Chains A and B, each alone.
Chain A
Amino acid sequence: MRQALKIIGVCLSVFIFLAGWTVCAARTIDNIKYPPLNKIEIPNVEKIQLDNGLTLYILEDHELPLVFANAFLAAGSFLDPSDKAGLGGITGSVMRTGGTARMSGDEIDEALEALGASVEVNIGTTNGTAGMNILSEYVDTGLEILADILQTPRFDQDKIDLAKNQMRTEISSRNDEPFDVCVREFKKVIYGSDSPYARQTEYATVNSIAREDMINFHDKYISPENVMLAVWGDFNKDEMIGKIKKYFGSWPAGAGKVPKLPEVTYEFKPGVHYIEKENITQSNILIGHIGGLTGDPDFFALTVANNVLGGSFGSRMFNEVRSKKGLAYSTGASFTTNIAFPGIYYNYVITKLESTKEAIDAVMTEIRRMQTDPPTDAELKRAKDSYLNSFVFNFDSKAKIINRMMLYDYFDFPQDFLYKVKENIEKVTAADVLDVAKRRFHPDEMHIVVVGIQDKFDQPLSVYGQVDQIDITIPSGEVPEEIVISEESKARGMELLNAAAEASGGIEAFKKVTSLSSRMDIGLVLPQGKFSLSSTNYVVFPDKSKEIVVTPMGEIVTVIDGETGWMQQAGNTIDLTSEQLADSKGEEFRNLTRIYQGLDNPQLTAVYVKSEEFNGRPADILRIMSLDGTMSFKLILDSETHLPVGKIFFGETIMGPGNLTQFVSNYKEISGLKFPFSVTIEADGVKTAEINVIEMKVNPQIPDGTFTHP
């Protein structure tokens, strides 16, 4: 009986084994035989060097009536001076939109869209591209425009304003999407916030970019020896070479090759970084450290390791964090490499706020497991096969083939690099993957960056170490000027300010002014044209004012009464916001009559900054600051007459926050006091308004009800 049971037991297990085996073998998909893959015809790309240094890659392809071109530009935003971050990007954008010697930007838009064609320029971090896509029947038009844009961009100011406008909106909205914030801050943590590979454009850097900067950037870096051009599609090769010579052959060589990409220095150490963001329900988490170079001998084993850890459908992270634990919709990992500078090794997971720590731990577990558990045979096979079996997709379009060839040449990579990768990936073993994970992953020296709301986390981030809270408030863009505040500079400042008061009529005379009224014409210069307005103003010292502006759309009345203020338009009355009130307070602070009146007992500091030419005449520059330091502006005095000739301050402009300059002139005497009758306002160097005073009265009759809230 026992014996029988034993036999049954044996039989059973044999049966189970067989059954298991049978099921496997019976699977339909395991019995499918693949026919040999049709041969890949690798087309023969011809490479030609023009006399001016431009390298041309050319390939005929008559499948569709289209011609494509892609110029590889060696210029990138890594070349931007740090106080002009964003210069490369805006140069590329305005090369396309700002017109050429032959056509305006708008004419180019019309010409291309009439043909259903496109030409686009983009300057990225390490390099730029200029691409063209056009029906072959119109190829000459496309090439000519592409050539003009590269060679003779004219950078129309109007399109610079447009591009800056767009950059400012990008800045103001850059904290909207939590994942974008996380990626940006993670890059800054890894490369350093000043690194060209991570730094960001700010209002101040946008404001400081001038048209000349773009012209210089273009002239210095966009020249034939720094450009490679690929052209492929529906044309006769010899004819096309002739066309390229015609459109690009006379482009004069430039100042030589662009500088090399900057090196990255990196020190491994752990860090926990937290960014608070309101109105979100998930934590966005990035964990990692510096990555590597594509030319690195570890590249092959790392490619396999990526697939096993987090780069595929069957990866450990996708299986464990997403499918088994249900912690995330988005999760993954990649040890990235670049050809020219180190990539980043990152692991990411996006999870509900309440499972932040659980998700970080789940990710860390998988990273550590890469260093203890070599890939299983199935994992290794899958990772290698997925690379090898999809190898054909490296060659499935002409664009991929010709652009890769160009890129490899630019970075001095061997043209057969891809085949080397294939060969080496075939050789990668499980031990290689374990070894590379042990050497190249540093789980104890990782930076964890979390965008979330910490009050809702399952555990505080401090369990991972000291938390560095990152402030993502967007800087206003005011450039602090380095000035020396000493007893000496303050005394000199006050002395000059008194001289200004004296030149304008004297402190005692100003003290007798209780109110002012004026009528003026205002010419507003807006991007869409010039507008004429007229305005009547009342100022009652110390803190009341009223402004009635007549516009083509009707009257707009603004009243400030001490701590409150309101605006009337088309019968509606709206109270001013705190920002608008603050702006008015600034205006009040800069009022010179008010300043002169208080010079006996100054509630401000006047610091002498320097003497230099202003508007073509020698001038002394002062910085006037409130005692609490919250308000300040620059006052410019004529060195000879001591009369004020300008004010410079930071404020709202038509194009966003920026530097405003007021030029004042045409002084006239009213009741023994001198007031300027002409004022010109420039925002970031662009004229925005011209004001002419028609009439001005000192201590006028103030109409009844002037300051009555309707």
Chain B
Amino acid sequence: MSLALKALKKSPWVFHVNTGACNNCDIEVLDVLTPRFDVERFGIVLVGSIRHADVLLISGPVTRNVLPRLKRLYEQAPKPIKVIVIGACGCRCGIFRDGYNIIGPADKFIPVDAYVPGCPPKPETIIAGVVKVLSTL
């Protein structure tokens, strides 16, 4: 295993994008950073710019308006980038599947590395998903 890859496993920086979720998953993402779970122990931090990110965290189904932006975000990210979708809506559109503005889950448009189901997923589940993605590296 190369040094860069080893270091990547020790400090995955996460950029979080909401592609049309109901905000519930976003609150759970913030829970992961609170004192009870504290993922900064493993070097995971939320960053403000996609240029700094190693993991693209997507919550919610993809709406028609957000699709070009999502594709652009993926293209703007410095590779290697891992993509995780969280929540039932992110995986299979959930209760929004018949919505007039919904055009499908994120994996129809960009490659996805991991799915974290749940409505919303518990913080433990999100951490388990991140661990699984990192173990595939």
The answer to whether A binds B is no
